[in-house]
Structure 1
Amino acid sequence: MHWEQLLSLRRQGDRHKRLRKEQDPTRLGFEVDYDRIIFSPYFRSLQDKTQVIPLSKTDFVHTRLTHSLEVSVVGRSLGRLAGSRLLEKHPHLAEVHGYQANDFGAIVAAAALAHDIGNPPFGHSGEKAIGNFFTRGPGQQYREALTEKQYEDLVRFEGNAYGLRLLTASRTGVPGGLRLSYATLGAFMKYPKESLPWKKGGPIAAKKFGVFQTEVETFRQIAMELGLLSTGAADPGGYCRHPLTYLVEAADDICYTIIDFEDGINLGLVPEDYALEYLIKLVQDSINTEKYRGIASMPDRIGYLRAIAINTLVQDAVRVFMEEEEALLRGELPVALLEKSRYRAQVEDIINLSVERIYRAPEVVEKEVAGYRILSDILEVTTAALVAKHEGRASSYDNLILQMLPIEGRQPEAGSVYEALLQACGFVASLSDRAAVHIHNKISGKHLHDQNL
């Protein structure tokens, strides 16, 4: 792979190449990507989606929106630092093509901003709930109407693939979705492959999948424009990651490792003395002990350690990125950057404690269990209504469901059972946690009971 191609400013529908040296310096294409994402309704919906603690009543806890903004900030730093070193190593990128270090930061920041845009409500359990509906729930009835790949898309419903759909799918009067640059879309594609073939193990880029059958052609166009390497016989139709994807992933890994941990501390799920012990191990080479001892409040002490920890991991991730740059361009790095960090042991200790004390906390588990039931019930009525509509046999109840749920107009009319089912899954995935609860109350009649009707 070559940086000149990987940094493509081209957008869906462009007939001509966009050159970096011809860009308006006050409105760069990569910065436009960021603006389009942040003003999109898909991004706004993240404000009430779970990061760790579903439906939390405290201001301490991060939502998907605040998490995405923080990942974007960290991603921008990673991109700029790596970009500065890349331009020193490859001066022709600046001298001939006009690229600057901030371009790398803008690409990574935009891709990081969108990295959770396709995630369903109730955290990662939301994805599992959708898959469970088709493997063990009422969704099993549609199996015979689907191809193997289509069924796999649904039983392993993936927020990354739905994110690509949101960013690129045409809507009536809006061709090409948000029309982001191919560079940003490439950096966004964490798992550049279809749902099949799939097997446990292998490189990190094949851990999940990143494209539904409806977006395969768009996916291939992006890969070809960027010059992504094919994975060949090992995974027909799959591609190696865009190198900047590793920086997007590192930004996410750094934020959820450190900031989810901070949330757990502020919520009292992790005792402060535990937290200090784990964080100080990570920052012991750069902490100003005198300054730290002078901080009075616990949240401020934790905030100080968090800032140093993030900076420490950012600097080390850039070191690994540059050491592995040639392997990245050959598509030969099978692990995340933090896997090769000199702080890997400290990061793993923090993650293990977070799993034990935060992710498995009763409050989290109980609400995830409720999320399974809520999403399954909504899927049951929406899939039935949309498939019936597609087949021309919608009942009065189906039509009422379709009127109640704002689906029509969001996506094109379904041309197959698969598209109808994917439309229903997309609707559910687009809901915030509270919107899902509200709609579930409606279809179960609970809101009428609460009004004493």
Structure 2
Amino acid sequence: MNWEQLLSLKRFGDVNKRLRKSQDETRLGFEVDYDRVIFSSEFRSLQDKTQVIPMSQTDFVHTRLTHSLEVSVVARSLGRKIGEKILLKYPELKSEHGYLPNDFGAIVASAALAHDIGNPPFGHSGEKAIGEYFKTGLGMAYKEALTPKQYQDLCDFEGNANGFKILTQSREGRVGGLRLCYATLGAFIKYPKESLPKKPTQHVSDKKYGFFQSEKDAFMDVAEELGLIEAGTEGNVSFKRHPLAFLVEAADDICYTIIDFEDGINLGLIEEEFALEYLIKLVKDVIDINKYHQLTNTQDRISYLRALAINTLINEAISIFEANETAILNGTFTVSLLDKSKYEAQINDIIKISVEKIYQSQDVLDKEISGYAVISKLLDVYISAVNNDYNGKASNYDKLILKILPKTIDFKADDLYIRLLNVCHYVSLFSDSQAILTYRKFSGRLVY
């Protein structure tokens, strides 16, 4: 892969090549991407979607929106610093084409801002709930009518693939979705493969999948424009990652490792003394002990350590990327950046505590169980109404349901896969509160 191609400013529908030297420096194309994501309705709904604690009423607990904003800030720092190093190594990118360090920062920040845009309500349990509906629930009935890859899309409903759908899908009046630069789309796609085969290699890019069958053509267009390395065999679509996707992943890893841990401390799920010990191990080389001991309350002490930890891991990720840049370009770098970190043991200790004390706390488990029931009910009602209508068998109840469905999503497609996927996509757009309210309506419990 080569950087000039990887930094493509092309947008869906472009006929002529967009040149970096021709860009308006006050409104750079990569920066426009950030604006388009942040003003989208799908991004705004993240303010009421779970990050750590589902449906939390606590002020300082992160939602998907605050998490995404923080990841984008870390990603911008990573991108700019890597941009400086890339331009020193390949000076023609600046002298001949006009690229600047901030271009890299803008690309990675925009992709990071959007990285959770496809997540359904109730966090990762929402993804699993949609998948379970088709693996073990009423959705099993559709298996024989779908291709294996179509069925797998539904059984392993993936927020990353749904995010790519949001960013690229066309509808009346919005051809090409948000029409982001292809460089940004490439950085967004952490898993540039289709749903089957599952985990064909141990490469980090093969851990999950990054696009539904419905967006296969859009993905191939992006991969071809960016010059991604093809890795699929036997007709299966799989590519090596865009190098900047490693930075988006690192920004996400840094934020959820440190900031979810911080949330757990502030909520009282993790004892302060116990937690401080883990964070201090991570920042022992940079901490100012005198300044630390001047801080008189838990929140200030945790905030100070959090800032040091994030800065430490940003610098670590940059060093690892720089040392492995050739392997990353060749597609032979097979793990996430922080998996190569000298702080791997400390990171793993923090994640282990977070899993035990936060992600598997009674409050989280109880609400995830409720989330399964909510999503299953929504899927059942909407899928029944849509398919009964297509088959000319809609009941009066089905007709009422159809009236509340948005006109912007195609629920009348002849292709069963598209109908089913679009219902799942529609449910994925719900906020946590909207999903619960709709569940109550369907259960006959109106809320005024």
TM-score range, shorter chain: over 0.9
Tell me, yes or no, if the aligned pair for 1:51 and 1:62 is still in contact at 8 Å: yes
Q: Over residues 393-425 of structure 1, what are the superposed CA-to-partner deviations in whole Å (9 max), with x where a residue is unaligned?
A: 322211111223x33324474231111101110
Instruction: Rate the CA distance shift 1:306–1:411 in 2: closer, same or farther, 3 A.
Output: farther
Tell me, yes or no, if the aligned pair for 2:143 and 2:151 is still in contact at 8 Å: yes
1:424 and 1:407 mapped to 2: Cα distance?
11
- Give the corresponding residue for 1:238: 238
- Give the corresponding residue for 1:426: 425
- Give the corresponding residue for 1:401: 401
1:201 and 1:229 mapped to 2: Cα distance?
15
Structure 1 window deviating more from structure 2 (253-262 vs 378-387): it is 378-387
Deviation at 1:269? 0.2
- Give the count of matched residue pairs: 448
1:414 and 1:70 mapped to 2: Cα distance?
39
- Give the corresponding residue for 1:367: 367
The one-letter code matched in structure 1 to 2:62 is H
The one-letter code matched in structure 2 to 1:96 is E
- Give the corresponding residue for 1:53: 53
Tell me, yes or no, if the aligned pair for 1:192 and 1:239 is still in contact at 8 Å: yes
Deviation at 1:161? 0.4
After superposition, the CA RMSD in angstroms is: 1.2
- Give the corresponding residue for 1:342: 342
The one-letter code matched in structure 2 to 1:228 is L
Tell me, yes or no, if the aligned pair for 2:386 and 2:411 is still in contact at 8 Å: no
The one-letter code matched in structure 2 to 1:279 is L
- Give the corresponding residue for 1:161: 161
2:359 and 2:392 mapped to 1: Cα distance?
44
1:30 and 1:382 mapped to 2: Cα distance?
38
Q: Where in structure 2 are there 5+ consecutive unaligned residues?
A: none
1:179 lines up with 2:184 in the alignment: no
2:124 and 2:228 mapped to 1: Cα distance?
28
Q: Where in structure 1 are there 5+ consecutive unaligned residues?
A: none
1:308 and 1:201 mapped to 2: Cα distance?
35
1:446 counterpart SS class:
coil
1:278 and 1:336 mapped to 2: Cα distance?
22
Tell me, yes or no, if the aligned pair for 1:81 and 1:318 is still in contact at 8 Å: yes
1:52 counterpart SS class:
coil
- Give the corresponding residue for 1:287: 287
1:132-151 aligned at under 5 Å gives the runs 132-151=132-151
The one-letter code matched in structure 2 to 1:272 is E
Q: Over residues 259-285 of structure 1, what are the superposed CA-to-partner deviations in whole Å (9 max), with x where a residue is unaligned?
A: 000000000000000111000000000
Q: Over residues 157-194 of structure 1, what are the superposed CA-to-partner deviations in whole Å (9 max), with x where a residue is unaligned?
A: 00000000000000112110000000000000011000
Deviation at 1:199? 3.5
1:9-408 aligned at under 5 Å gives the runs 9-199=9-199, 202-233=202-233, 236-404=236-404, 406-408=405-407
The one-letter code matched in structure 1 to 2:20 is R
Tell me, yes or no, if the aligned pair for 1:197 and 1:235 is still in contact at 8 Å: no
1:162 and 1:18 mapped to 2: Cα distance?
27
Deviation at 1:300? 0.8
1:237 counterpart SS class:
coil
The one-letter code matched in structure 2 to 1:363 is D
Normalising by structure 2, report the TM-score: 0.98
Structure 1 window deviating more from structure 2 (112-121 vs 389-398): it is 389-398
2:422 and 2:236 mapped to 1: Cα distance?
26
1:435 lines up with 2:434 in the alignment: yes
Tell me, yes or no, if the aligned pair for 1:164 and 1:189 is still in contact at 8 Å: yes
2:233 counterpart SS class:
helix
Tell me, yes or no, if the aligned pair for 2:411 and 2:423 is still in contact at 8 Å: no
- Give the corresponding residue for 2:443: 444
Deviation at 1:200? 6.8
Structure 1 window deviating more from structure 2 (252-261 vs 385-394): it is 385-394
Q: Over residues 368-407 of structure 1, what are the superposed CA-to-partner deviations in whole Å (9 max), with x where a residue is unaligned?
A: 0000010001100111111222333322211111223x33
The one-letter code matched in structure 1 to 2:430 is L
- Give the corresponding residue for 1:8: 8
Structure 1 window deviating more from structure 2 (141-150 vs 124-133): it is 141-150
The one-letter code matched in structure 2 to 1:43 is F
The one-letter code matched in structure 2 to 1:433 is D
Structure 1 window deviating more from structure 2 (144-153 vs 243-252): it is 144-153
Deviation at 1:232? 3.5
Q: Report sequence identity in percent.
A: 59
1:342 and 1:235 mapped to 2: Cα distance?
39
The one-letter code matched in structure 1 to 2:399 is N
Normalising by structure 1, report the TM-score: 0.97
Instruction: Rate the CA distance shift 1:191–1:424 in 2: closer, same or farther, 3 A.
Output: same
Instruction: Rate the CA distance shift 1:244–1:234 in 2: closer, same or farther, 3 A.
Output: farther
Deviation at 1:32? 0.3
1:218 and 1:423 mapped to 2: Cα distance?
17
Structure 1 window deviating more from structure 2 (34-43 vs 143-152): it is 143-152
